């Protein structure tokens, strides 16, 4: 009997900590923001803006969640974004020069393949050579950065087609940015993948206990490879979104997305050690980060102070998570 009671209490605590805590934090933050900036913050225009800003880092954080769930990390995502943005813009420019103006599906597909390929390289090096994901993805990221700079000479260039210009700036029915629609769609797809598919179950199993997963007949290497490839693909998509928004391929434009994505995932309660976390909570993490940026800008806070506050929030989130163990 005693045991049952204990069980119930601990599982309730787990539920409270890991799934609802980030949303509670988000609500609190929204309330504070409304108090501090009652004129601008709660307006539809500003909220739409927040979602728009959230969408790109949100897409990156989806793949990052998957990688963190298998117990890994991917520090190459910003460089995948930069490479894809530059390549995509330049390919689009060539197409426009040839008189083609459209969705540029062939270019999009190529970007997705590049993302998947980078993920494959990251994953292969990690599982075959059994090296820390941190250093492998850091190295691969630097290589990609070098390639991007060699290719662009460090200068922004290229154009995007009318379709992608519209995608980056216009809104569906006049109030839902297209980038947000894409983010929501990807979110739905990955929620399904993680919760309802065999691969999803195995991702959690591998992150939770790799050796037990192996001895349970799970091909651990394949699962990890899949995770890194998915992360590469979402980073490539984010690269296209970035190019669409700034309408040019900017080799420097993606700085900080990697850390913001990791921070969002961790604030959302996903364990760095893997196996524990919910993609839905990553959404809360992303919104917390974006709302914080937004409101600090609105109240005209010193940008240096903003950095400091962001850091403190990440630390607090991680420390709360630790207490749960």
Partner 1 sequence: MSEFALEMLGITKTFSRVKALDNVTLRVHTGEIHALIGENGAGKSTLMKILTGIYRADAGTVLLQGRETHFKKPQDAMQAGISIIHQEPSLVPDLDAAENLMLGHEMQRGGVLKARAQYAYAKRYLDYVCNGALGDYRVPVRRLSVAQQQMIDIARALSCQARIIVMDEPTASLTQSEIAVLFQIVRQLKADGITILYISHRLEELFALCDRITVLRDGRHVTDANVADVTKNWLIGKMIGRDLSQSYPPRHRRHSDEVVLEVQNLTGERYRDVSFRLHRGEVLAIAGLVGAGRTEVLRGIFGADPTRSGTVKVFGRETVISCPARALGQGLGFATEDRKCQGLFLNQDIRQNIVISALNKVSRYGVVHGAREKRLARRYFDELGVVAPDIDKLCKYLSGGNQQKVILSKWLASGCKILFLDEPTRGIDVGAKYEIFQLMDRLVGQGVSIVMVSSEMAEVIGVADRAIIMHEGAVTGELPADRLTEENIMTLASGETLRAAN
- Which residue do the tokens 């928004």 mark? 245
CB 65 to partner 1: min, Å: 16
- For residue 113, the minimal CB distance to partner 1 (Å) is 21
Sites for partner 1 among residues 203-242 (CB under 8 A): 204-205, 208-209, 211-219
* Among the residue ranges 2-10, 45-53, 88-96, 167-175, the one whose residues contact partner 1 (CB under 8 A): 2-10
| Separation between Cα atoms, residue 240 and residue 306, nearest integer Å | 28
- Residues 5-44 within binding reach of partner 1 (CB under 8 A): 6-8, 10-11, 14
Reading the block at residue 72, the tokens are 């890994």
Q: Cβ neighbours of residue 310 under 8 Å, at least 6 residues apart?
A: 263, 289, 292, 293
Size of the site for partner 1 (CB under 8 A): 30
Per CB under 8 A, the segment of 115-123, 170-178, 192-200, 236-244 that binds partner 1 is 192-200
Residues 252-311 that bind partner 1 (CB under 8 A): 275-276
Closest C-alpha to 272, from 109, 88, 67, 20: 67
To partner 1, the closest distance from the beta carbon of 23 in angstroms equals 20
What value does the CA radius of gyration of the chain take, rounded to a whole number of Å?
A: 20
Residue 73: exposure state from Cβ atoms within 10 A (0-12, 13-18, ≥19) = buried
Q: Which is nearer to partner 1, 11 or 252 (CB)?
A: 11
Query: Which one, 218 or 242, has the nearer CB to partner 1?
Result: 218
Burial (CB count <10 Å: 0-12, 13-18, 19+), residue 25:
buried
Can you tell me the distance from the alpha carbon of 229 to that of 286, in angstroms, rounded to the nearest whole number?
21
**Least distance to partner 1 from the beta carbon of 197, Å?**
5
- Which residues contribute to the site for partner 1 (CB under 8 A)? 3-4, 6-8, 10-11, 14, 196-202, 204-205, 208-209, 211-219, 275-276
């Amino acid at each position: 009997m005693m045991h049952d009671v204990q069980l119930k209490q601990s599982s309730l605590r787990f539920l409270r900590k890991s799934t609802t805590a980030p949303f509670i934090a988000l609500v609190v933050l929204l309330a504070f923001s409304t108090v501090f900036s009652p004129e601008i913050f709660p307006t539809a225009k500003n909220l739409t803006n927040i979602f728009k800003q959230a969408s790109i880092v949100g897409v990156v954080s989806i793949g990052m969640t998957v990688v963190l769930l298998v117990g890994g990390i991917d520090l190459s995502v910003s460089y995948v974004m930069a490479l894809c943005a530059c390549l995509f813009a330049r390919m689009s420019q060539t197409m426009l020069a040839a008189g083609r103006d459209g969705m540029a599906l062939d270019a999009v597909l190529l970007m997705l393949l590049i993302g998947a390929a980078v993920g494959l390289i990251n994953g292969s090096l990690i599982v075959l050579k059994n090296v820390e994901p941190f250093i492998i993805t850091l190295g691969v990221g630097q290589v990609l950065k070098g390639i991007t700079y060699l290719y662009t000479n460090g200068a922004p260039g290229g154009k995007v087609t009318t379709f992608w210009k519209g995608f980056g700036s216009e809104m569906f029915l006049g109030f839902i940015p297209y980038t947000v629609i894409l983010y929501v769609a990807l979110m739905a797809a990955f929620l399904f993948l993680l919760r309802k598919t065999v691969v999803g179950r195995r991702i959690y199993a591998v992150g939770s206990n790799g050796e037990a997963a192996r001895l349970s007949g799970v091909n651990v290497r394949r699962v990890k490879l899949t995770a890194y490839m998915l992360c590469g693909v979402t980073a490539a998509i984010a690269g296209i979104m970035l190019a669409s928004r700034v309408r040019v391929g900017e080799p420097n434009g993606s700085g900080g997305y990697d850390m913001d994505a990791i921070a969002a995932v961790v604030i959302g309660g996903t364990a760095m050690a893997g196996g524990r976390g919910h993609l839905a909570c990553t959404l809360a993490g992303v919104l917390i980060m974006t709302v914080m940026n937004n409101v600090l800008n609105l109240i005209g806070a010193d940008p240096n102070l903003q950095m400091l506050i962001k850091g403190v929030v990440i630390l607090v989130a991680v420390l709360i998570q630790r207490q749960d163990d």
